[in-house]
Structure 1
Amino acid sequence: MGIQHELIVGGQRSGKSRRAEGLALRWQAGGGRVAVIATALAADDEMRARIGHHRATRPASFDTIEAPLALSAALAQADDANTLIVVDCLTLWLVNWLMPASGAPDAPGWQAERAALLDLLPRLASPVVFVSNEVGWGVSPLGREVRDYVDELGRLNQDVARRCGRLTLMVAGQAWTRPVEDSNDA
């Protein structure tokens, strides 16, 4: 694999975004550019505060692209061999499609955007660092909609990981990184 993409997974507040930012700062120190694709939507005060914190602590030298739904288009827009792209995060991107604040999920649109992402990833000139939650380790949710979401995020994480060269698991701020065994460029 020519380009080394990476998927960083872990629980909430495990250090995923901080790890991605550290990788981006190292890339930048080597002379590269950094673009962050932010997928969160500010649907309530708590989420607005979280987004505000990320914006305030993100290095000003990083370009930011907000893409709550059109992730593949944002990746294509930022694509450049000298630019490391951080996608923060797949978890909220999926929420925006399957559990939107409007209450009307767009399953066909989600499937098309998911396929576009998976098709585009091996063709990008930019290395990409994806951030995503690992939500499948807890008790199975009682509601069908939430179970469907957990299942879909698990499938998405697996498919993205297969297109990445490295996988990092974050636990309590500590990273365990390893090469992906079932990686492919197709």
Structure 2
Amino acid sequence: MGKIILVTGGARSGKSAFAEKLTLEAGSRPAYIATAEIRDEEMEHRVALHRQRRSLKWQTFEAPQKAQLALAEAGKTHDAILFDCITMYLSNMLCRQTEPLDEECLENMTQAQMAELIEAAKNLPAQVTIVFVTNEVGAGIVPENKLARFFRDLSGLANQQLAAAADEVYAVLCGIPVRIK
């Protein structure tokens, strides 16, 4: 069974840089599971910044959906995998839905997707470490609209599910990682 680490924190907290460091410390053959879908120039810029931080030794697997398949594939040849990020992955799922949203169905889909990712992580070879990155979106102001509040709730549920399965959990605050599990 692979080792599961969860890194959470707010926007620009330093969580991705810390997760990259953890991943490189865990193995010499790192893989990066990228979940972002580039839909505008601003997102393109953010993705470029993440790419610039990583050396050429990282192999990237694009997985805006069905990421459990990319995780299993990366685990065949890599000993350390960074999954960045869970909340972007959930956002991709939510953006594919049509109005009106069936909240119960989406909660079930979220739980199922997280269960698939956890199962894929647990099925990795024992020497593989997977570092999941997620955003802590519930610590800020209450969003003004229903969709944003629902996304916050789904993210919180997904984070709880992953944290329960993780061997280690870190919160990054102001660039400082704090181990909480």
3-state secondary structure, aligned to 2:113: helix
Q: Which residue of 2 aligns with 1:19?
A: 18
Q: Which residue of 1 aligns with 2:53?
A: 57
Greater Cα shift, 90-99 or 113-122: 113-122
Residue 142 of structure 2 corresponds to residue 140 of structure 1: yes
The Cα of 1:127 is off from its aligned counterpart by 1.4
Flag the 1:44–1:78 CA change in 2: closer, same or farther, 3 A.
same
Name the TM-score, length of structure 1 as normaliser: 0.84
Distance 2:78 2:38 in 1: 31
The Cα of 1:144 is off from its aligned counterpart by 1.3
Distance 1:22 1:112 in 2: 29
The Cα of 1:111 is off from its aligned counterpart by 5.5
- Contact 2:114/2:162 (<8 A) preserved: no
- Contact 1:27/1:33 (<8 A) preserved: no
Can you list the C-alpha shifts for 1:124-147, whole angstroms capped at 9, x where unaligned?
Answer: 222110001000011221211111
3-state secondary structure, aligned to 2:180: strand
Alpha-carbon RMSD: 2.2
Question: Which structure 1 residue ranges, 5 or more long, are not aligned?
Answer: 180-186
3-state secondary structure, aligned to 1:61: coil
Distance 1:146 1:135 in 2: 10
Distance 2:150 2:123 in 1: 29
Q: Superposed, which structure 2 residues align to 1:72-111 within 5 Å?
A: 72-80=68-76, 83-100=79-96, 107=106
- Aligned residue pairs total 174
- Contact 2:24/2:80 (<8 A) preserved: no
- Contact 1:37/1:67 (<8 A) preserved: yes
Question: Which structure 2 residue ranges, 5 or more long, are not aligned?
Answer: none
Distance 2:56 2:163 in 1: 29
The percent identity for this pair of structures is: 35
Q: 1:70 aligns with which of 61, 66, 73?
A: 66
3-state secondary structure, aligned to 1:41: coil
- Contact 1:37/1:88 (<8 A) preserved: yes
**Quick one: which amino acid aligns to residue 94 of structure 2?**
L
Q: Which residue of 2 aligns with 1:172?
A: 174
Higher relative contact order (CA 8 A, sep 6+): 2
Residue 132 of structure 2 corresponds to residue 130 of structure 1: yes
The Cα of 1:39 is off from its aligned counterpart by 0.4
